[in-house]
Amino acid sequence: MAGGVALVASVAVAACGAEDFPNDPRPPAPIQLSALIKDRQVSLGPRSGVGAGLARITISNQTRDPVTLVLEGPRNNASDEIVPGGVGSMQVDLERGDYTVSAADEATAERRETTLRVGPERKSSQNELLLP
């Protein structure tokens, strides 16, 4: 009798974890971009080999006025205002396509811009170690 109860219990426990679920690959690891805003230009790097996915942009404002970095394209995004001589950052989920990256300051209404071409989604970070 005790052996029968143990057999039923082991079959019941084994049946509980039998649900299948897809093992979807992890998204691509975020990439780091840098933006430099000067009096007459915006520089962004790296500009080649940027694939779709999460990106963190570190922005350096080297002007005398507060500015905002704006990305216009498949997805529009804007940074918070960055003080003169200050550094800011923004996190964006880039989609494939062309973006106009601009910086505008309200004091002079001056607009500086460059372009960013985003390619297909980067490969999965499934097999990369030490990622959160």
Task: Tell me if 108 is assigned to some domain.
Answer: yes
Total of domains in the chain: 1
**Is the entire prediction scored with pTM above 0.85?**
no
pLDDT truncated to tens, each residue of the chain (132 aa)? 555 555 555 655 555 555 666 777 777 789 999 999 998 899 999 878 899 999 999 999 999 999 999 999 999 999 999 999 999 999 999 999 999 999 987 766 778 899 999 999 887 767 666 665
Q: Is 77 contained in some domain?
A: yes
Range of the domain at 58: 31-119
14 part of a folded domain: no
Cα torsion angle, 76, 60, 114, 45, sign: negative
Contacts of 124 (CB under 8 A, 6+ apart): 25, 26, 27, 28
**Angle at the Cα of 70 from the Cα atoms of 72 and 58, rounded to 5 degrees:** 120
Residue reference for tokens 């003080």: 83
